[in-house]
Amino acid sequence: MESLLEFALNYAERLGSTYVEVRCRRDVSNTITMKNGEVQFSGFLREFGVGVRLIVNGSLGFASTNVLNRKSIINILSSASSMAKASASSKPIRFSNETVATDKWEVKQKVRFDSVSVKDKVELLSDIDKLFRSGNDVKFPSRLLILNETLTEQIFMNSEGAVIRSKVPRISFSYILTAYAPGKGTAQRFNKKGESRGWEAVTSWNLDRLASEEAKILGRILTEGMKPPKGEFDIILGSEVVGIICHESCGHPFEADRILGREAAAAGESFVNRSMLGERIGSERVTIVDDPTIPNSYGYYLYDDEGVRASRRELIRRGVINTFLHNRETAAVMGVKSNGAARSVSYSREPIIRMSNTYMDRGEYNFEELVESVREGVYIKSFMEWNIDDRRFNQRYVGLEAYRIRNGEFTNPIRNPILEITTPSLFMSIDAVGREISFSAATCGKGDPMQGAPVWTGGPEVRLRNVRLGGS
Amino acid sequence: MEPVDFASFAVNTGIRGGAEDVAATCIREDVKMVRFSNSKVTVNQAWHSSILNIMVAVRKRVAIGSIEDLSRGSVKKSIEYLLKTAKITPPKRDYVRLPKGPFEYNATQKLPPPPEGSTMIKYVEDAIEGALSKGAERVAGTSLYRKVETGIATSAGASGYDSLSSFEISVRAFSDEESSGHANSCARNEKDFYPAQAGEEAAEIAVKAANPVQGEAGLYDVVLGPNVFANLVNDVVNAASAFNVDAGLSFMVNRLGERIASGSLTIIDDGTLSDGLNSRAFDDEGVPTRRTIIVDRGILKSYLHNSSTAKKYRCSTTGNAGWIVPQPWNIVVEAGKLSEERILQELDDGLYVTNNWYTRFHDYRRGDFSTVCRDGLFRVKGGEIVQSLKGLRISGNLPKILRNIVALSSERRWVKWWEVDVPTLTPHILVRDVPFTRSTK
């Protein structure tokens, strides 16, 4: 395979490319889907091909094929090169200068995916499905469970001499659960667990306990949940909600390609601009990090798909805009080094700027301390519906598991409290941050064609002061 | 080898290995894409792929695989693995044997040669120039050419080939930092493909959208443009997939035969359209595709089915397999009687929403959702646009919106872009009492 990649590098240079990179990537993915207690299918997806990116006459071209011979490589390179030449610009694309790496990295599976039989995996899903139905007083008429494991192997080479080999296993379990009670209607819960590990991850998730708790909580929301109060309150957000906020309201608007307008047509731009580096956007308590190097995290990697070493980056430090997420193109434009945020989800997709594991850094409070000073408040532990405008300024999170707080004590569950708020107001309202960080797995969508990238979102619980519950 | 040969080889190998049912589709795809932003090309992309999808069933036990290495050895090995997996997978109660062929399919049209790289760039230049000529400050977008060839074979005697090519462009024009307009053009043939016009239209919206003010929350009568309704109708039709009905991802559970929308609304899925961007002669079980009325003048007439979901609902397949999840082909919303101009004039005091994104459901069973308005959003009084707005989202209930439709325009547009997966032909619609919300701080 390496000789074919070297051929691609050399051929692209003969076409006049000033920069070339090739990635040969194999994704082996296995999935079991269970609906309402019945396996719908067991299946696999095997992707294997080569993606080539090049700069010709200052224009960027990307091409891919899964027909792995010289003729096919010549065809796609010629196609990408001719389009790039036809679009030559007066503002040539440049990449930042980066250290050329020759390296190999791998996440080892302690328990290999294939050491656990399909039969055992199906039994696990059946057991979880039974526990999902175990809630009292309510029925669970619809349950959709999906178990996925993917092994990704890649060789990266570029015309600067980089050669990087990698191997990453990723495993995820996701579900959507519908609870129903006569006279109360329905409530739904979507959740996902995911890590870059072997089967041992599933064991560590303690899914039996999770399923029992989810069923119990959803039942309680349905049968006891009351209308949310109206007015201005202190709000405690659970780490699941904090995680999605960090992802949507900090990670995305800090992607330098959005800031420069490259994603304007589809995924959108950003309310943040280059001149805002160093500006305050949140309270002193707010530090938000994107870190691909967290061992076993769902968004884990050690080199990005441009061959740049991955690193932890503080996007917001103590409430101040500290850095953006960069690839080599945006880094060159802004006169900085890339911080290794270029990722591709397939050999057939161009690397673009992506988050990895985005979270709010820990604070000093334990949970009791966060709650005890709240006289009139709401605790939103989890969410179902959310969205944000394409400049990442106006967002909405609709709580799922949520409770009223009075005089520092939890009272009744409430249904569907809505936090609808602007990004600076949200970050400026945070006056206390908890000590314990936890993460949720998610698939982040961006790019055209759409690329769904595995990420973690997370943080500790936080407290917001004097926020009006939304919806109007 | 041609796509149908790969599919046939997979079927024969599966049957020899002991499968009772085997279906295979081989999809060969060539795509060229040019992305642009700030009025210049940002990346040129081209990709080629050949994928073989295989379904095997043994005593109602189903396994599905998708491979890109199409060598005989790889196919054989994959089928061996699928058979082994199927045998230890629990049976699927509602599984039925593949529909018996052979089937007659419509003849495949000969495809024109793909556009050269320079032609792809010309589409983009035309769109950019069109937008700039109408007052845009900068322009972004994506232009795409796609050619797909599909071969199918099943152990029940289906065998066929179909091919299709299409052109798409999605243009977003900006008149200032916060003001934008979006338009697209998509067609099966180059002669029906209008990049410059898409650019002009996007810019015209962007110019009208300049200097927006924060909108106020409340109930409004609204005109939803084709981009918005196409996005919402995609969710309506997904809710009609029998798999999603069973999975709790639908507000149509137990509603067949009932009124779920205004009498002015008819929604059809049609895999046979000559101008449909996602038309195909056969579904993944080899059944010829057809025209299926999902909602007929407000009444829910049919879910979308494959053979197995049809058995459960005691009806016939609608030719929408998906071996597991029935899928729509092209969505058609029947036209109304008012012109586009007239439908806006019907709006005495309300909003005109030209585009949206990020539609998310709080409860699929109830249809509670919200979606964010983007690009041109206008206050309309006495049928005239009086103000550009920003910062609003529709936060409502999808079935209620469908029930509150009062008029549809006679002109329709094909919509397909990032937020509209299934190509959709839809008019503008007028809806009463749609709730909008905004940030509270």
List, for residues B398-417, the tens digit of each pLDDT value: 999 999 999 999 999 999 99
Which of A66-75, A372-381, B259-268, B416-425 is the least confident region? A66-75
CA end-to-end span of chain A, whole Å? 59
Q: What is the reported pLDDT for A134?
A: 80
CA-CA distance, A77 to A14, in Å (whole number)?
Answer: 11
> Is A445 near chain B, with CB under 8 Å?
no
pLDDT at B164 over 70: yes
Chain B residue at shortest CA distance from A467: B441
DSSP, collapsed to helix, strand or coil, labels residue B102 as coil
pLDDT at position B440, please? Answer: 85
Structure tokens at B251: 């507000």
State whether B363 and A186 contact (CB < 8 Å): yes
Answer whether 0.95 is exceeded by the pTM.
Answer: yes
Determine the distance in angstroms separating the CA of B322 from the nearest CA of chain A, rounded to an integer: 12
Given an 8 Å threshold on Cβ–Cβ distance, is B363 in contact with A386?
no
- Chosen from B28, B361, B362, B393 to mutate, greatest number of chain A CBs within 10 A: B362
Contact criterion met (CB < 8 Å) for B89 and A40: no
Cα–Cα distance, A237 to A245 (Å, whole number): 10
The verdict on a CB contact (< 8 Å) between B372 and A390 is yes
pLDDT band per the 50, 70, 90 thresholds, residue B209: very high
Enter the tokens of residue A235. Answer: 């709000």
What confidence score (pLDDT) does residue A2 get? 85
Q: Are residues A427 and A306 in the same domain?
A: yes
Residue A318 exposure: Cα atoms within 13 Å on the Cβ side: 2
Show residues of chain A in contact with B86, CB under 8 Å: 42
Shortest Cα–Cα distance, B46 to chain A (Å): 5
Using only the alpha carbons of chain B, give its radius of gyration: 23
A308 and A179 together in one domain = no
Which residues on neighbouring strands pair with residue A149, listed in sequence order? A30, A171
Sequence-distant (≥ 6) Cβ neighbours of residue A30 within 8 angstroms: A42, A43, A44, A113, A148, A149, A150
CB distance B134 to B128 below 8 Å: no
CATH architecture classification, B3-208: 2-Layer Sandwich (3.30)
Structure token digits, residue A191: 């959740």
Interface residue A69 vs chain B (CB under 8 A):
no
Distances from the Cα of A461 to the Cα of A250, A315, B385, angstroms: 17, 19, 45
Residues A208, A252 within the same domain: no
- A210 and A245 both lie in a single domain: no
Element (H, E) at A438: strand A438-446
pLDDT at A86: 84
Question: Using CA atoms, how far apart are residues B397 and B412, in angstroms rounded to an integer?
Answer: 24
Position A85 scores a pLDDT of: 87
User: B370, A142: Cβ pair inside 8 Å?
Assistant: no
Rounded mean pLDDT, A380-389:
97
- Mean pLDDT score of chain B: 96
Q: How far is B231 from chain A (nearest CA, A)?
A: 14
Q: Among A41-45, A71-75, A134-138, which is the least confidently predicted range?
A: A134-138
Report the C-alpha gap between A60 and A72 in whole angstroms: 20
Q: Strand pairing of A59-65 and B40-58?
A: parallel
- The string of pLDDT tens digits covering residues B348-374 is 999 999 999 999 999 999 999 999 999
Query: What six digits make up the tokens of B324?
Result: 């597991």
Number of domains in chain A: 2
Would you state the pLDDT for residue A87? Answer: 83
Domain span at A91: 2-224
Q: Is pLDDT of B223 > 90?
A: yes
Per-residue tokens: A199: 């089967």
Other CB atoms within 10 A of residue B307 CB: 22
pLDDT greater than 60 at residue A472: no
How confident is the model over B2-12, as pLDDT tens digits?
999 999 999 99
The pLDDT, as a whole number, for residue A471 is 61
Choose one of A158, A192, A224: the last residue of a domain.
A224
CB of B378 closer than 8 Å to CB of B350: no
Q: How far apart are CA A236 and CA B81, in angstroms?
A: 50
Calculate what percentage of chain A has a pLDDT beyond 70: 99
Domain boundary among A189, A206, A224: A224
- Contact yes or no for A11/A76 (Cβ under 8 A): no
Element (H, E) at B65: strand B61-67
Q: Which residues of A touch B121 (CB under 8 A)?
A: 83, 86-87
Residues 6+ apart with CB under 8 A from B82: A44, B14, B54, B56, B63, B64, B65
Distance from C-alpha of B128 to C-alpha of A400, rounded to nearest angstrom: 44
Among the three residues A202, A224, A246, which one is the final residue of a domain in this structure?
A224
B108 band by pLDDT with thresholds 50, 70 and 90: confident
Q: Are residues A220 and A114 in the same domain?
A: yes
CB B169 within 8 A of CB B184: yes
Residues A104 and A167 in one domain: yes
- Residue-range domain boundaries for chain B: 3-208, 213-437
What is the tens place of the pLDDT at every residue in B380-393?
999 999 999 999 99
CB–CB contact A89 B41 (8 Å): yes
Q: Do A315 and A394 sit in the same domain of this protein? A: yes
Q: Could you give the angle at the alpha carbon of B130 between the alpha carbons of B125 and B131, nearest 5°?
A: 100
Asked if A253 and A392 count as a contact pair (C-beta separation under 8 A), the reply is: yes
* pLDDT at site A339: 98
Q: Which helix (H) or strand (E) holds B433?
A: strand B420-437
Q: Is the pLDDT of residue B196 over 70?
A: yes
What are A139-188's pLDDT values in tens digits?
999 999 999 999 999 999 999 999 999 999 999 999 999 999 989 999 99
Whether residues A199 and A240 fall in one domain: no
Co-location of A404 and A257 in the same domain: yes
Three-class DSSP category at B365: coil
Other Cβ atoms closer than 10 A to A78: 16
A78-82, A279-283, B310-314: least confidently modelled range: A78-82
B45 phi and psi, to 5 degrees?
A: -130, 145
What is the Cα–Cα distance from A116 to B250, expressed in whole angstroms? Answer: 34
Strands (E), A11-107: 17-35, 38-56, 59-65, 102-106
| Nearby residues of B318 by Cβ (< 8 Å), 6 or more positions away | B269, B290, B292, B302, B303, B304, B305, B310, B326
Mean per-residue pLDDT, B418-441: 96
- Are A41 and B324 a contacting pair at CB < 8 A? yes
Instruction: Kindly tell me if the per-residue pLDDT of B312 is higher than 60.
Output: yes
* Average pLDDT of the segment spanning B263-267: 98
Per DSSP, B216 falls in state: P
Chain B neighbors of A450, CB-CB under 8 A: 418
Q: Does residue A236 share a domain with residue A218?
A: no
Distance from the Cα of B368 to chain A's closest Cα (Å) equals 9
A303-342 pLDDT, tens digit each: 999 999 999 999 999 999 999 999 999 999 999 999 999 9
Question: Are A56 and A205 members of one domain?
Answer: yes
Query: Whole-angstrom Cα distance, residue B75 to residue B53?
Result: 10
Q: What is the CATH number of the domain that holds A130?
A: 3.30.2290.10
pLDDT category, A246, cuts 50, 70, 90? very high
The rounded radius of gyration (Å) of the Cα atoms in chain A is 24
Domain identity same for A422 and A345? yes
CA distances for B85 relative to A149, A174, A228, B56, B79, angstroms: 15, 21, 49, 10, 10
B278's tokens = 């996602």
For the residues A123-129, what does the mean pLDDT come to?
Answer: 97
Burial A228-255 (b: 16+ CB within 10 A, else e): beeeebbbbbbbbbbbbbbbbbbbbbbb
What's residue B188's pLDDT?
96
Mean pLDDT over each residue of chain A, to the nearest integer: 95
Angle CA A289–A293–A297, to nearest 5: 90
User: Contact, B199 vs B131, CB < 8 A?
Assistant: yes
Angstrom CA distances, B383 to B218, B224, B243, B386, stand at 19, 14, 42, 9
- Partners of A386 on chain B (C-beta within 8 Å) are 360
**CA gap B312, B305 in Å, rounded:** 10
Residue with token string 């309510």: A138
Q: Which of A87-96, A112-121, A233-242, B85-94 has the lowest mean pLDDT?
A: A87-96
Two structure tokens written together for A407 = 């005089």
Give, in degrees to the nearest 5, the angle at Cα B225 between B220 and B228. Answer: 85
